[in-house]
Structure 1
């Protein structure tokens, strides 16, 4: 009886201590509740426990200290209020969504099993340990039995934590099912997203893992976007009707403000959300900001789990944990994408700049301050005849002509190849190789880095050869026009006395017999008069402004007919005539007689340039819509100082009586009348080549006479 009384007293003391400790903890939690939801939950639980426990405690104290004899009514009034304990818990769950009830139950059950297991082993050890030791070791001292027993108790106490962990793992596996495997692979998931640089792949893997780990069907990820009205845009989703998803303008602010310290906004347990947010998010229940450096770069949104249950605090904490890793992975991915876009932009800009440099028809060479080539564009390749791989890295002195290098050094002193300002050389004449004489504008300008530091210079080579030739032809044309008018006046003035001299000479010849010695003198006078008349006639032909008679011509036929006319002049000259005609040539519009005169002058000049014989090459071909004719000889060539004067009237290098100097001037005028061009290339001792270009029939137009051209 005494033991029974002691046990009753101990039970009452345990009850009082447990009640006071539990009530104190609940009341403390109620006072420190940070959210209205938690405060409301704790208020109903505290009131329910107070209303239930106080009458029951008073009943127990009364029966223990006063008298155990009470009426059934008093006993019913003391025990009846205990019904408020489950009612208060139930109401708080239903009304305020206490999400961790299953967690509490599961953990309580695990603790109960672990405690029961340890207690069972402890009782067995206490009850049977001494007998087992005595059976194994007869006559064992008592202190050995006590030491073994104490050691066994300590070992059993140490087994509590492993047993509880093992039971919790089995309980979680039973409770979560497939979600447990996904959560166990959290480390692998974190490593995977940390190593993923592609944003689309990162979002896909995150959504897939969240679906498996939390057993939700609907998942969406919103990424920060300054251009979007809500500040965020939907980046990836599964199971969400995107057409029905409407983000309110203050979406980001609502998420940050309502997620609170827990870091998760749960629609079911959060009151006072704006109507626009509630209406636009029907498919989604939980919103987790993925923040880094106090900036939410994304929002992870989940629908309700498939079992229609609320997420527990453990699951909410897990969401919060992975949101941090997702934020870091997304920032890395966005940075990687930004760097990739910048790299692509730089590559595109580089290609664009190189395309500009390669497309320009001016030679551009980039030089280091030491004069080594850093860049060599295609125009420089074509102009200088040196391939880019052969030029890069080499000193510029080894690539350009010594005269050009000397001229560049003269204008860049004393700075060398790192000039502070632009320096220019105008119309520099340079022989690029054995066949090309070039006229160049050369500029060297400073090459600055974006930082403002000098990094060398740019050498710009502009080929003016064609332009200079056109300018010279224009000057020649104007000069010939003026000389033509002057020659016409002179010819008319000279014709009158020549006619008188010729008439009187013929009258005198008729008066002298054939054997009169004075007749030979008169015949010489008549011969010189005829020669002077021919010169005057050439002057009139040069100055005459007649419209040529044009027709469709095959230039090859015109060349062949000209050769037939000159066959007596070329006979016995040891000159080999070579013809290179294209098989198909379009016709031209022209005057056959005048073109024959041009070709005749060029062929006879070639003959006179090869007194010891040689090769005369006639070529006809199509180039850039122009019918081209080359008349090339292997004669003595034309000195450079005479090239600019060969089209001047009366300019000749032949001896007295062998030429009047009007042949090339007439040829130049005829080609101009046919809307063509004539060019010359010559090297002393190697020969001369005249090139004539005439419009093909598809592009040809009727030649204007020189009067019309002068009128233009």
Structure 2
């Protein structure tokens, strides 16, 4: 709603700043008066409004203060009268300072914008803020009328809509990623299959050839194979073949895990999830990142871990995010990262614990960890969506994320998930 019409309507009624209302004996406007300097008819009208209305003298001192302003800012008329507006209102997230707002209103007749005002009980509120220049024809002094309407609920709704839009965009990106990964995985798997199929044949051929080559070496002496002595290559070649096979299997496993992670799973949240296997798959995808971040990485899997009910791909997304955060928190490669699984039989919960020896989380950031778009690493490309999305996924699984952190010493994150009851018990 546009409130500028309001000022135009009341212009003829404005009486603030008249000589009969201003005490200038000590050079300070209104310091000896605790009475609002609106004209009586106007004061009655303004006290009916839900919006905070403040009258200001030529130098920005408060000379009028309606009842809504008292309630909104938590200051009585007596406490506010005569004080500079800049000292009374703690203004944040505004393009201009309070002094600049008054200068702009004096120059352009009125100024309008949005800002955060510190209100009663130290809270912060978004306001639509309009400041009107007021000058009666018979006076040289310029006064101002400040009007603040609380728009916090609207701003919250606007932010939620923006977050929802960002989530839709992120979902579209993940869908596109899934399509891309499927195509790339196919192109990788085809040549990798040749390696996996042909290498065992070459291994068998080598084993068949080795007795012949051994006899030749005994009769004719050592000879070169690939530029190296046969006596050395005889034991090295089998190891090379084994390395090729293991490498091909690793490629297949990574591609499979990547396809599973990027796949859009329409089957919902009712799978029986092996947490240890899920952690292992997630580690496969981030192993290179972990190796670059730390030379002191430890994994510990609990034995006989009961399954949980949920979605494997979504839980892997959470684990990957926690590991990425742990890697990004480290300052040196000798600092440790640890991930382990455990079962709390008393609580009936499966736990995944990720611990790092990184920079830790500032205490003031702890309440905002799950807020969308909140990040302490924005200058390094952080979006603030990772933990927000992770928290939503964990809540979908009926679990919880808990953080313990000491600045400069590290962070421990505990992901707790309800274990699936044994068969016959629910």
- Choose between structure 1 and 2: higher helix proportion: 1
TM-score normalized with structure 1 length: 0.28
Structure number with greater Rg is: 1
TM-score by length of 2: 0.42
- Of structures 1 and 2, the one scoring higher in RCO (CA 8 A, sep 6+) is 2
